[in-house]
Amino acid sequence: MAMMSAASSLCLPPLFLLLLLPLLLAITSEAATLRITNQCPYTVWPAVVPGGGQQLDPGEAWVLNVPAGNTSGRIWARTGCTVHGEGNVSCQTGDCGGLLACTGYGQPPNTLGEFTFGGFNGMDFFDISVMDGFNVPMDFLPVPIQGRAGCVKGPRCSADITSQCPTELKALGGCNNACRVFKQDKYCCTGSAADNCSTTNYSVFFKKMCPDAYSYPKDDPNSTFSCPTGTDYQVVFCPLINQAISPSAENPVALPAPIGPTSMKPKSSTVRRIVTILAPVGSFILLTIVFLAAYFIRKWRIHRQLEMEEEEEFGELQATPISFTFQQLKAATEQFGNKLGEGGFGSVFKGQFGDEMIAVKCLDRAGQGKREFSAEVQTIGRIHHINLVRLTGFCAEKSHRLLVYEYMPKGSLDRWIYGRHDNYAPPLDWCSRCKILTHIAKGLSYLHEECTKRIAHLDVKPQNILLDDEFNAKLSGFGLCKLIDRDMSQVVTRMRGTPGYLAPEWLTSQITEKADVYSFGVVVMEVISGRKNLDTSRSEESIHLITLLEEKVKNDHLVDLIDRNSNDMQAHKQDAIQMMKLAMWCLQVDCKRRPKMSEVVKVLEGSMNADNNIDHSFVVATNVISSVPPLASHVSGPK
Active site residues: 459
CB atoms within 10 A of CB 274: 12
Q: b/e string for 539-573 if b means 16 or more Cβ within 10 A?
A: eeeebbbbbbbbebbeeeebeebbbeebeebeebe
Judge whether 112 and 132 are in contact, CB under 8 Å. yes
DSSP state of 194: S
Element (H, E) at 237: strand 232-237
Q: How far apart are CA 329 and CA 326, in angstroms?
A: 5
Q: Is 361 annotated as a binding residue?
A: yes
CB 387 within 8 A of CB 408: no
Strand partners, 411: 467
- CA neighbours within 13 Å on the CB side: how many for 215? 19
Cα gap 126→2, rounded to integer Å = 11
Cα distance between residue 120 and residue 290, in whole Å: 10
CB distance 551 to 543 below 8 Å: no
What's the CA angle centered on 114, arms 122 and 366, to 5 degrees? Answer: 110
Query: Which of 130, 200, 229, 211 is CA-nearest to residue 171?
Result: 130
- Which residues are part of a known binding site for ATP? 361
- Which residues are part of a known binding site? 361
